[in-house]
Chains A and B, each alone.
Chain A
Amino acid sequence: MIEQSKVKLIGVGNRFRRDDGVGWQIVQALRQTHLPETEALEASGEGASLIEFMQGGDTVLLFDAVVSGATPGAIFRFEAHNERIPTRFFNYSTHAFSVAEAIEMARALGKLPARLLVYGIEGDDFDGGVSLTPAVQAAIPRVIELVMLDLKSETTATANGIT
């Protein structure tokens, strides 16, 4: 039904740091509702692991919390197979080789999946804790709607940027 092609999901972040866990919560919500059999990775953001996991996927969806100064809960969507990821969004890692670098490295190596859609959700609170802030929680069903549109259309035309 939904996919003929192989879909893989990546949730980046630390689920014990409140809004940083939104990526993995989206992955879990997608598997509970529409995509139960999909291969998924809960990722720290470490680059080598991300690149390896993406291999073999036709469509890879990556979800991560971002800090850009936008309103909490704002959703950013990038067609990373077509465009560079602005590093300012994913630049908070202490590791020298993380999400944006991993994607650009995979591009240089010719190892990007045919479609790599990166969703960034503006976070608010990254302190210890397992609950998301309300605005970030409220973004999850909206992200899922966008993802379902993405998966219906191989050449999706959803708008980029803040939705």
Chain B
Amino acid sequence: MKNNKNGNTRKSRTIKVDYLARVEGEGGLFIKVRDNKVRDVKLRIFEPPRFFEAFLRGRHFMETPDITARICGICPIAYQLGSSYAMEDACGVKVDGPIRELRRLIYCGEWIESHVLHVFMLHAPDFLGFEDAIQMAAKYPDVVQRGLRMKKIGNDVMTLLGGREIHPINVKVGGFYKVPTRKELSGLMENLKWGLDAAKQTVELVATFPFPDFEQEYEFVAIHHPDEYGLIEGNLVSNRGIDVPISKYDDHLIEEHVEHSTALHTRVNGRESCFLGPMARYCLNYEQLTPLAKELAKAAGLGRVVNNPFKSIIVRAIETVYAFEEAIRIVESYEMPNKPAFDVEPRAGTGYGATEAPRGICYHRYTIDDNGIIQDAKIVSPTAANQKTIEKDLWNFVPQNVDLPDEKLKWQCEQAIRNYDPCISCSTHFLNLEVDRA
């Protein structure tokens, strides 16, 4: 019998991935199947706890962007800006004008870097049947080269505004240490225009991928701003009625400890799991997308809401188009501010900040004293918040595909996890796969 390598029979099997590839950080998956029924699904996160919240206590509030940036090498801006917004909220400062625009621009750089890496290097090989992007490169060199160049453009935006492409050092509470001149910024334009065109082609390409039939019901949660696609500021909203300021996050999204994970699980208060990230933003911020992004989404066959998580790759490609368009808009209209940052004086209080990391909302809450010393900190990464939804998808996905041989089932389960572009390193405050059929 094909799938009894481990002494399992068709009636009872275990699918086990000890170490998930093509995700950030360390985690595994365990699935137990009895009589073709799924009995257990555990997304195991064994990345050690990182204690950032504990060692922020006693530090000065101005240090948070540089300390929290170290939580993640892929989305440092989510941590830098989330913590900056929270501190500015605590201190009663509102950042606007060109500095706010530069914040959106550096975030576009991070979205481009992260989305392009995921779409081309991590997720596309699943759809095209390759072990990794290097194998894929041999068959589709033009596609991979296009992805590499797009990613490099994201790096360039990060380097210009952040000082360097990884762990940028130029973001501070109140704004930036140094801001670019108009001329420096306009140096990005030619590549951004090339990138927009490449992003359009990417939507067209990923729309042709084969997608499993897997429509699910989700509570999508995202940041929503009436005038712009949710990115840096706005209310916490969901498709099931949440619409509150970020300061009410803890009333609506509750964190719980589960034994098999070093990352806390999130559920919606009084309800079930939540879904953060590109599909949530697309659902809740559709009206704020550009006409081009909407048109491309329609041509790619996407409805007003996308409920098949495997199609997240198309939504990520749509958001990449948006990020290039938004970057071009900002570069074209930029006027250099007189000062690179707003002055922020500490005062005792609690502040809240949330921005849309590439994977979804990244929430920060800090309490500081009159000297700006941090008394309490809470940070929730989007992957941690999505864990429960990833497990729920697998509970529903495995029964539909339980007749597949173990190797194929394992492949598709990993693909289902990668729908969320999980960043395990961040979530520990993630992957190996195990399916137990015996």
A residues with CB within 8 A of B: 44-49, 51-52, 93-97, 101, 104-105, 108-111
Contact = CB atoms under 8 A, between A and B. Distances in A.
B425 A51 contact: no
A95 B152 contact: no
A71 B149 CA distance: 38
Given A108-B134, A109-B137, A96 B155 contact: no
Interface in B152-167: 152, 155, 164-167
Contacts of B73: 93-95
Interface of B: 22-25, 72-74, 117, 121-122, 133-135, 137-138, 141, 144-145, 148-149, 151-152, 155, 164-167, 425
A94 B425 contact: yes
Contacts of B151: 48
B315 to A, nearest CB: 20
A93 to B, nearest CB: 8
Contacts of B133: 97, 101, 105
A90 B366 CA distance: 37
B151 to A, nearest CB: 4
A48 B148 contact: yes
B155 A46 contact: yes
A44 B166 CA distance: 7
Contacts of A52: 148-149, 152
Contacts of A47: 148
Contact of A108 (B122, B138, B167, B425): B138
Nearest to B147: A48
A101 B148 contact: no
Contact of B148 (A44, A45, A51): A51
A48 B152 contact: yes
A105 B152 contact: no
7 contacts: A44-B165, A48-B148, A49-B155, A94-B425, A96-B22, A105-B148, A108-B137
A110 B139 CA distance: 12
B361 to A, nearest CB: 22
A96 B166 contact: no
Contacts of A105: 133-134, 137, 144, 148
A48 B74 CA distance: 14
Given A108-B138, A109-B145, 5 more contacts: A48-B149, A94-B24, A96-B121, A108-B141, A109-B137
A49 B164 CA distance: 12
A161 B399 CA distance: 51
Contacts of A111: 145
Contacts of B72: 94
A110 B122 CA distance: 21
A108 B144 CA distance: 10
Given A51-B148, A52-B149, A96 B122 contact: yes
Contacts of A108: 134-135, 137-138, 141, 144
A20 to B, nearest CB: 13
Contacts of B145: 109, 111
A11 B152 CA distance: 18
Given A95-B73, A95-B74, A46 B166 contact: yes
A52 B121 CA distance: 16
A95 B23 CA distance: 10
A24 to B, nearest CB: 13
Nearest to A93: B73
Closest 10 CB pairs of A and B: A108-B137, A94-B73, A44-B166, A48-B151, A48-B152, A48-B148, A108-B138, A108-B134, A104-B134, A109-B141
Given A44-B164, A49-B165, A52-B152, A96 B24 contact: yes
A51 B25 CA distance: 24
A76 to B, nearest CB: 22
B165 A46 contact: yes
A25 B74 CA distance: 26
Contacts of A97: 117, 121, 133
Nearest to A107: B134
Given A52-B148, A52-B149, A96 B137 contact: no
Contacts of B138: 108
